[in-house]
Amino acid sequence: MHHFAEGGLRGELADLVVSFRERLAVVEIDAAGIRVFEVRADEVGTAHHTRRASAKWSTLTASGDEVFDAMLRIARDLISADETDPVVITRSAGGHEQDAAVRALRQWRPSARLVEVSGVKVGELLGELTAGAPLRQTYDLIVARERAEDGRLELVGRRLFGAGAQPGDEAHVTVTCTDAGGMVLAVSAWSGPLQPSGLVSADHAPLPPGRHALRAVLERPGLVRFPEVPGLRPDTRPWEEVVATLPERLQRASRPAHLVCAIETAGTREEFEARSHWAGYVIDLLAERCPDLQQLKVSVVGYGTHVYDTRHADRSRPALAAWSASTAQARAALESLRPTTPTYPNAAQIEDMLAEVRTRLLRQPASTRTALLTIGARPPHPPRSGLDRVPACPARHDWLALLREMEQHHGLRSAVICDSPPATSTSPWRRLGSTALFQVDAVNAEELAVRLGLVTEPAGVLSLPFVSQSEDSGGRH
């Protein structure tokens, strides 16, 4: 038996409120009767206490039962038999009924802890302890971001509070509101790394479009406040309804765009003209769809094949027909390209083209949407010779490193139109065509332009916070 002042009981119960797994039972025994409380965690890990039973001694014995029998029946009905579920008995008065009740509880759960207290209201104490408990699960803000491979929106979590966070803790997160009607700040809980366990809260924030640095405060488990957001009110729609209204892709505000068309010139006239046709088609499509042509720039680069039978290494560079030009200038530049005779059959100067483009992109403003469309037959040369017998690029350019660098620094989207399907699943064409990969005889130019992020489909309103790929430091699906 333990004798505790309220402070000791508080500490004992506070530990149990944090550590219990399924449920915690607390039986309060005083001069008037008994009350049975139960603490459980809901699906998002928030602990709640409920009073499961309350009876005066006279009520317990009204049907002729002894206190012992009545208490045992209540215990069987309301208190778990599982030894991993803790049971605490508080007793603030002594007497026959109280002793009989304790005996009955001890018979049902021999491990139940008996605590002698005075002046403690258990219900109120449990309310305080559950409100002040640290988080049992992590809390994330649900945001939308664009998938790198195709620009489609996906929902991910941005961490607000980790498991163990205390009420009063703060978190900061920067998101973009894309709709004039504001956005929904939805907080989800995660019990593990793979699946969210449930929605903690969803509130409508009437914020204007633009970037917002939000301060989140953990009021208590199950309640996150955003103090700086005025007019926050609960969004009572079912979550499925919120998700159903999300657009497939983001309707972008107009910002500068730059398409680099890289065309392999090596091949027959027919092969070259088929490639040039699609470059011209895509440029025309963009010119037609772009609401502000001043915002659209197009570059045209022609590249051929390396020459390997010369005494000194071939250091020739791709032909830059136009750089960051208007669509009309790019069209004219495209016409200036001519087919060339292949000097090597199995690879072309794509890596040199990428090096040239990378160097020139360094001077481009960071906010520009940048897309690369490579149209050709031959994959790039590797930086070093391999078993496939393709000789290394004379300048040792590493096409994959260059592509990754541009994707990272410029958010580059890379698509390809190949003369024929890639020979293997590991073909460089598949990586170069990570945004879109078409064959020259089956191109969906509309879809290509959309995937490259250069034109947008009519889209719905994004009612959730948005984070761009560059802002995103990782998230959970």
Partner 1 sequence: MADTDSAPGDPERGREPDIAMWGASGSGKTAFLAALSIALNKSRDAGWRLIGENAVSRTELAKLRNTLLQARTFPAPTEALTHYSWMIIGPAETRRRWWWPWTARAAKAPKIKLDFLDLRGDLYAESESNIDKKALVDSLVKSRGLIYMFDPDREARVGDAFKHLDAALHEVAGRMLVGDEYEDGKLPHHIAVCITKYDDPRVLRIAMEEGFTERDPTDELRIPHVPPDRVRDFFRLLCHEAHDHNTEMILDLIEAFFHKDRIRYFVTSSVGLFIDEDLGRFDPDDYLNVIDDAGGGLTIRGAIRPMNVMEPVLWLGQMLRPGAIGSRRWDG
To the nearest whole angstrom, how small is the minimum distance from the Cβ of residue 215 to partner 1? 53
Q: Does 329 bind partner 1 (CB under 8 A)?
A: no
Nearer to partner 1, 132 or 383 (CB): 383
Sheet of 183-190, strands arranged across: 153-161, 138-146, 183-190, 196-205, 233-234
To the nearest whole angstrom, how small is the minimum distance from the Cβ of residue 304 to partner 1? 11
Determine which residue in the list 119, 193, 233, 309 makes contact with partner 1, applying CB under 8 A.
309
DSSP state of 294: G
Q: Which stretch binds partner 1 (CB under 8 A): 53-61, 123-131, 138-146, 311-319?
A: 311-319
Nearer to partner 1, 226 or 303 (CB): 303
Nearer to partner 1, 232 or 390 (CB): 390
To the nearest whole angstrom, how small is the minimum distance from the Cβ of residue 439 to partner 1? 22
Q: Which stretch binds partner 1 (CB under 8 A): 27-35, 148-156, 214-222, 309-317?
A: 309-317
* Cα–Cα dist 453/150, whole Å: 9
Cβ atoms within 10 A of the Cβ of 433, count? Answer: 19
* Cα–Cα dist 154/143, whole Å: 8
To the nearest whole angstrom, how small is the minimum distance from the Cβ of residue 342 to partner 1? 5
To the nearest whole angstrom, how small is the minimum distance from the Cβ of residue 425 to partner 1? 22
Helix, strand, coil share of the chain (percent; to 5): 25, 30, 45
To the nearest whole angstrom, how small is the minimum distance from the Cβ of residue 384 to partner 1? 4
Q: Does 118 bind partner 1 (CB under 8 A)?
A: no
Determine which residue in the list 312, 365, 426, 474 makes contact with partner 1, applying CB under 8 A.
312
To the nearest whole angstrom, how small is the minimum distance from the Cβ of residue 348 to partner 1? 12
Angle at 415 between CA 411 and CA 417, to 5 degrees: 165
How far from chain centre, in Å, is Cα 48?
29
Nearer to partner 1, 347 or 450 (CB): 347
To the nearest whole angstrom, how small is the minimum distance from the Cβ of residue 414 to partner 1? 25
Q: Does 195 bind partner 1 (CB under 8 A)?
A: no
Cβ atoms within 10 A of the Cβ of 159, count? Answer: 16
* Cα–Cα dist 265/275, whole Å: 9
Determine which residue in the list 311, 362, 367, 473 makes contact with partner 1, applying CB under 8 A.
311
* Cα–Cα dist 93/247, whole Å: 64
* Cα–Cα dist 277/299, whole Å: 15
Strand-pairing partners, residue 190, are 138, 196
- Number of residues engaging partner 1 in binding (CB under 8 A): 22
To the nearest whole angstrom, how small is the minimum distance from the Cβ of residue 266 to partner 1? 9
Determine which residue in the list 50, 59, 107, 385 makes contact with partner 1, applying CB under 8 A.
385
Q: Which stretch binds partner 1 (CB under 8 A): 150-158, 209-217, 288-296, 384-392?
A: 384-392
* Cα–Cα dist 423/442, whole Å: 17
* Cα–Cα dist 385/393, whole Å: 9
To the nearest whole angstrom, how small is the minimum distance from the Cβ of residue 309 to partner 1? 6
Name the burial class of residue 412, with classes exposed (0-12), middle (13-18) and buried (19+) by CB atoms within 10 angstroms of its CB: buried
Q: Which stretch binds partner 1 (CB under 8 A): 107-115, 200-208, 234-242, 338-346?
A: 338-346
Pairing of strands 33-41, 47-56: antiparallel
Which amino acid, one-letter code, is at 4? F
The two tokens of residue 385 are 């010779």
Nearer to partner 1, 238 or 345 (CB): 345
Residues in contact with partner 1, shown as a per-residue x/- string from 342 to 381 under the rule CB under 8 A: xxxxx-----------------------------------
Determine which residue in the list 107, 341, 439, 469 makes contact with partner 1, applying CB under 8 A.
341
474 conformational bin, left if phi > 0, alpha if psi -120 to 50, beta if neither:
left
Q: Does 317 bind partner 1 (CB under 8 A)?
A: no
Helix (H, G, I), strand (E, B) or coil at 64: coil
The two tokens of residue 193 are 């790394």
Q: Does 208 bind partner 1 (CB under 8 A)?
A: no
Contact residues: partner 1, CB under 8 A = 305, 308-309, 311-313, 341-346, 383-387, 389-392, 396
